[in-house]
Amino acid sequence: MIKNQPVRHYSVDLTAGKKRSSSSTDNLGFKGSFEQRDDNMRLTFDGKYDYETSNSLKKTHKYLLNPGADYFFQPQLFWRNKVDYAQDFMASDYKNIDLSSGVGYSLYDTAELRVEFIALAGLKRTYFKETEGLELFLGDRQSLDFRHVQLEWDLRYLWPQSSFEVFSEGSYLKPVNQPVSFIKFGHEVNLSSGLHYYLTERIRLSFSVDFDWSKIDAVLNQGLIISADSRDLHQKLSIGAKF
């Protein structure tokens, strides 16, 4: 039996822009992905970098790395192991490391259409900076561990006989424990949806809406709850290539 040759896919997208209104905004973003698939194994790696200033003051500075491996029991059923490493230089929760594992199902995975859903469970460790007032909630702790369940999806569709491809990928994470009583971690949503337009077979323009939301409440004495949500919504126009 001759083993099939591995199938590899690469993509890179670059975003850069300036906005001049009541405020002056500059942004730079980079996103890259790698995927290799053979008969029973799929290896993936995603990386993302965002940098933004407003009126010459740094507003966003963060990056995200996502290595993963899928083992296929059947053509459609697979087991996923992955790591999410996020570094945010502007947030008090400056570093997040998430180890997760779970089962996935691929309804379709062709050059024109991908529909996949993955149910995962894992552990997220969040590290905090020494921020004034934060020690009231954390004491001497520098990190918190959250066990969680998570749903991921990857949807792509290349419109027949056209240069347009629509996509939506993201995750919904729900903690199953609260390590300290003063902080309630509700959920985390990461979503990227949009449209690719292929100028050539490889080169493409992309428009996407990226939404990141961490639902967090600070619970004070006498049951007073203060929202400490982190929300980030960006509309991006990028140029990139897929190989």
Average pLDDT value for residue range 156-181: 94
Tokens of 210: 């990226």
For the cut 60, the answer to whether the pLDDT of residue 132 exceeds it is no
Average pLDDT value for residue range 83-112: 93
- Position 51 scores a pLDDT of 92
User: How far is it, in rounded angstroms, from Cα 101 to Cα 119?
Assistant: 8
3-state secondary structure 29-54: EEEEEEEEECCCEEEEEEEEEEEEEE
Contact 46, 33 (CB under 8 A): yes
The domain in which residue 91 lies consists of 69-242
Q: Which has the closest alpha carbon to 44: 87, 104, 91?
A: 104
pLDDT-derived band of residue 86, with 50, 70 and 90 as boundaries?
very high
Q: Which has the closest alpha carbon to 97: 143, 62, 152?
A: 143
Domain presence at residue 187:
yes
- Provide the CATH number for the domain around residue 190: 2.40.160
Give long-range contacts, CB 8 A cutoff, 24+ apart: 18-23: 23/54, 23/55
Tens digits of residue pLDDT in 38-50? 889 999 999 999 9
Contact 124, 95 (CB under 8 A): no
Instruction: Work out how many domains the chain is built from and give that number.
Output: 1
Per-residue DSSP letter, 195: E
Pinpoint the alpha helices (H) of 116-220. 135-138
Domain presence at residue 60:
no
Average pLDDT value for residue range 173-199: 92
The pTM for the full model equals 0.89
Percentage with pLDDT > 70 across the chain? 91
Contact 36, 69 (CB under 8 A): no
For the cut 90, the answer to whether the pLDDT of residue 150 exceeds it is yes
Domain presence at residue 212:
yes
